[in-house]
Amino acid sequence: MTVIVRDFRTEDAGAVVRLRRICTPYVVMTEESVLFEVAHANPARKFRLLVAEEDGELIGSAHVGVAYDSTDPGQSSVTPQVHPERRGRGAGSLLLRTAEEHLAVEGATSVYSWVLDEPASLDFAEHHGYRATRPAHFQRLDLAGAVLPEPPPLPPGFELRTAADFADDPRPLFEADAEATSDEPSDIGTDFDDYEDWLGHTWNNPCLDRELTTVVVAGGRVVAYTLAHTDGRTRYMSGMTGTLRAFRGRGLAKHAKTASLHRARAAGRTDAYTTNDAENGPMLAINKWFGYELFAREVRHVRALA
């Protein structure tokens, strides 16, 4: 049996989605979103979607790219995924080596990777020279059976709207997302100021559900929001949730997320997922209030390229 690594082809989309749902069931992905990412990645990202085949069957994949919007040049990322029943055949190592070689050619000096918090995956990362930096918690909410809390009334002067209300001009949502994201704990700092790029990878993402993405508006300005990603069927995943600095401490993000979850359930979504940096105490507390339970852990790792 022979394992090879090659670049993604259009006809691989279904197999990539099936693989990812097995390896990381808490990530929302569709065939359309896979094709979109490949076709519309920012050229500066030097993006490649690698796949591993064993005798013609797709058994692994890796999203590879340079952090072109980082405030620290030379940062990059790759996260190989291999079917649990096909590990130990060299597919993960071959994916990783191919990715690192590509990133080195493109000028990367450091490679970050998310690693499942399980002995085999952690050992694999350590064996290949990666060291742990920070953990993340993935949580699940049984949206079909959960007793969702009702939000208290919004303060005077604030109102709930959806991203669909900003279809003609989403810039107010971009501005809120840019400020809130810049305060998120992260190994890779981001220079978040390119509106056109944000339109390309956030606003136009096929998984972004604009009817479920909920914002809090005051004086015509988006002051808090929660992005909602869905697979168009049963899965719902919270994207970025944030509040402008001047409006924090009023529970506005909780309002937005509560409204989004209620509408998601009404739309037939049954499984809600979210992820938080293990050091993001405020959002961990909010998700616990909703009834989210720990589903999986990942640990960010990094390796310096010679």
pLDDT (tens, 9 = 90+) of the chain, 306 residues, equals 699 999 999 999 999 999 999 999 999 999 999 999 999 999 999 999 999 999 999 999 999 999 998 888 899 999 999 999 999 999 999 999 999 999 999 999 999 999 999 999 999 999 999 999 999 999 999 999 999 998 778 999 999 999 999 999 999 999 999 999 888 777 776 777 899 999 999 999 999 999 999 999 999 899 999 999 999 999 999 989 999 999 998 989 999 999 999 999 999 999 999 998 888 888 788 899 999 999 999 999 999 997
> Quick one: pLDDT at residue 35?
98
> Quick one: pLDDT at residue 145?
94
122 in a domain, yes or no?
no
Last residue of a domain, one of 108, 131, 162: 108
Rounded CA gap, 85 and 166, in Å? 45
What letter would DSSP give residue 56?
A: T
* C-beta atoms surrounding 217 within 10 Å: 20
Same domain, residue pair 72 and 149:
no
117 in a domain, yes or no?
no
In 203-292, beta strands by DSSP E: 214-218, 221-230, 235-243, 271-277
Q: Record the pTM.
A: 0.93
Last residue of a domain, one of 86, 108, 130: 108
Same domain, residue pair 153 and 71:
no
Same domain, residue pair 180 and 278:
yes
Q: Over the range 122-139, which residues count as b (16 or more CB within 10 Å of their CB) and which as e? A: bebbeebebeeeeebbbb
Note down the domain range covering 86.
3-108
Same domain, residue pair 156 and 279:
yes
Last residue of a domain, one of 108, 127, 150: 108
Query: Could you tell me the CATH number of the domain that includes residue 23?
Result: 3.40.630.30
Residue 37: what residue type?
Answer: E
Same domain, residue pair 86 and 217:
no
Same domain, residue pair 64 and 149:
no
> Quick one: pLDDT at residue 278?
87
Same domain, residue pair 94 and 51:
yes
Residue 235: what residue type?
Answer: R
Q: Please return the burial class of 76, using the count of CB atoms within 10 Å of its CB with bins 0-12, 13-18 and 19+.
A: buried
272 in a domain, yes or no?
yes
Q: Please return the burial class of 274, using the count of CB atoms within 10 Å of its CB with bins 0-12, 13-18 and 19+.
A: buried
**Sheet of 235-243, strands arranged across:** 3-7, 48-54, 57-66, 75-82, 110-116, 293-304, 131-142, 271-277, 235-243, 221-230, 214-218, 158-162
> Quick one: pLDDT at residue 280?
81
> Quick one: pLDDT at residue 152?
77
> Quick one: pLDDT at residue 286?
85
